[in-house]
């Protein structure tokens, strides 16, 4: 019998995360009362999308497939506009729904389309990547990218439920799986150190994903709109998002987060906090992930200026006062930021 794990996400709009193999059976239960559902997907997950379509048809929900570009190329205003046009032509109403099948970028897009269509309709992400499962699909943060930066246009719009399709991971190359584990390593440092001891162990992937989901579920249950606690989930992401922008999204999110985690550890050391630099580098390197970067500091600093945690001209970083004790720190010393980057490059 296949193992299905259910994790509750609390808050004002609680929902359930269903994790396991072949979990699309749970999709209709989240969409009761819908006459239509758009299934937004990328070509790389067309097989999983077809399962979702069949589940909808079997319960009498009219399914409208919408294929979009893969990865960050799909997170644009133009692509969102195409989706809205399809919804309008098909007569989608407020009782209808959106289903997003794919990795983190796809679920970000699908959630944003759902949040903005008729000021908000139900949606369900079916996550098929590690990043989607442990981060993007959970918590209701939806967004697209614009020229000024990543995820700058978006909305908080919690899903009706989340499906994490573990079977989809078996077809992914090891390098792609490892890139997704950067977000898992992050969860280990900020909340669940047991995760760090499981990295690299055979057959540990389902437990790593479950533990990381529970970390995020606990945080977003307490702070949906990132008014405080939820900021800890951005550990390593201030530089990571800047790298993605400077590289025009040619770097994967996981690779950028890997470098961002090292930079945050270096900043922690330079500000007198416990030194997790070598542990961070060692863990990430064991996964074949990058731990250095050599792009232009001026462009990176400009990109970080529009980070969501920035306040005025000051940058705010999530650092570690100790293992599993993250804090948000304002850093105004430009020399310190540049010194940390020089250490990263070295």
Distance in angstroms (rounded) separating the CA atoms of residues 186 and 231:
13
Q: Is 72 a catalytic residue?
A: no
The answer to whether 224 touches 12, Cβ cutoff 8 Å, is yes
Residue pLDDT, tens place only, 316-339: 999 999 999 999 999 999 999 999
Per-residue confidence (pLDDT) for residue 314, from 0 to 100: 80
**Residue ranges per structural domain of the chain:** 4-171, 174-345
Per-residue confidence (pLDDT) for residue 14, from 0 to 100: 96
Instruction: Indicate the fold that domain 4-171 takes in CATH.
Output: Rossmann fold (3.40.50)
Residue 187: phi and psi, rounded to 5, are -60, -35
CB-neighbour burial class of residue 43 (10 A; exposed 0-12, middle 13-18, buried 19+): exposed
Q: Is 119 a catalytic residue?
A: yes
Choice among 36, 211, 214, 216 that is catalytic: 216
Q: Is 255 a catalytic residue?
A: no
CB-neighbour burial class of residue 255 (10 A; exposed 0-12, middle 13-18, buried 19+): buried
**Two tokens at 299?**
């462009």
List C-alpha distances in Å: 303 to 31, 147, 306, 326: 39, 11, 6, 23
Choice among 78, 119, 298, 311 that is catalytic: 119
Choice among 226, 245, 255, 281 that is catalytic: 226
Q: Is 234 a catalytic residue?
A: yes
Choice among 51, 75, 253, 269 that is catalytic: 253
Choice among 122, 150, 241, 255 that is catalytic: 241
Which of helix, strand or coil describes residue 337? helix
Distance in angstroms (rounded) separating the CA atoms of residues 306 and 315:
9
Choice among 22, 230, 301, 339 that is catalytic: 230
Choice among 151, 234, 281, 308 that is catalytic: 234
36-41 sheet: strands from edge to edge: 4-9, 15-20, 162-165, 122-127, 97-102, 36-41, 62-67
CATH assignment of 174-345, among 2.60.120.460, 1.20.1090.10, 3.30.70.890, 3.40.190.10: 1.20.1090.10
Q: Is 216 a catalytic residue?
A: yes
Choice among 237, 269, 281, 308 that is catalytic: 237
Helix, strand and coil content of the chain, in percent to the nearest 5, comes to 50, 20, 30
Q: Is 141 a catalytic residue?
A: yes
Choice among 183, 210, 231, 244 that is catalytic: 183
Task: Give me the residues of the chain with pLDDT under 70, please.
Answer: 1-2, 308-313
Q: Is 183 a catalytic residue?
A: yes
3-state secondary structure labels for all residues of 182-218: HHHHHHHHHCCCHHHHHCCCCCCHHHHHHHHHHHHHH
């Amino acid at each position: 019998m296949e193992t299905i794990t259910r994790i509750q996400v609390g808050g004002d709009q609680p929902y359930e995360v269903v994790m396991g193999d072949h979990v699309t059976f749970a999709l209709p239960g989240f969409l009761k009362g819908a006459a239509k559902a758009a299934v937004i997907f990328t070509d790389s997950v067309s097989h999983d999308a077809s399962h979702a379509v069949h589940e909808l048809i079997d319960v009498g929900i009219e399914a409208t497939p919408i294929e979009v570009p893969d990865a960050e190329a799909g997170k644009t205003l133009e692509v969102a506009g195409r989706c809205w046009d399809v919804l309008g032509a098909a007569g989608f109403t407020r009782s209808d729904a959106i289903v997003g099948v794919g990795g983190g970028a796809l679920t970000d897009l699908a959630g944003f389309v759902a949040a903005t269509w008729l000021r908000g309709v139900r949606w369900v992400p079916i996550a098929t990547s590690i990043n989607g499962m442990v981060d993007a699909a959970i918590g209701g943060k939806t967004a697209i990218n614009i020229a000024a930066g990543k995820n700058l246009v978006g909305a908080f719009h919690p899903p009706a439920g989340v499906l994490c399709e573990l079977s989809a991971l078996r077809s992914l190359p090891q390098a792609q799986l490892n890139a997704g584990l950067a977000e898992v390593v992050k969860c280990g440092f900020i909340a669940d150190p047991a995760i760090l001891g499981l990295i690299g162990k055979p057959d540990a992937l389902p437990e790593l994903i479950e533990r990381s989901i529970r970390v995020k579920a606990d945080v977003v249950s307490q702070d949906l709109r990132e008014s405080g606690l939820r900021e800890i989930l951005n550990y390593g992401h201030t530089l990571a998002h800047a790298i993605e922008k400077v590289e025009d999204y040619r770097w994967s999110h996981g690779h950028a987060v890997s470098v961002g985690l090292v930079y945050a550890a270096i900043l922690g050391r330079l500000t007198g906090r416990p030194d997790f630099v070598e542990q961070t580098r060692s863990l990430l390197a064991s996964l074949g992930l990058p731990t250095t970067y050599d792009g232009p500091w001026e462009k990176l600093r400009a990109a970080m200026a529009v980070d969501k945690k920035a306040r005025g001209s000051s940058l705010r970083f999530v650092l570690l006062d100790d293992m599993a004790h993250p804090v948000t720190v304002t850093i105004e010393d430009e020399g310190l930021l540049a010194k940390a980057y020089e250490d990263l490059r070295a």
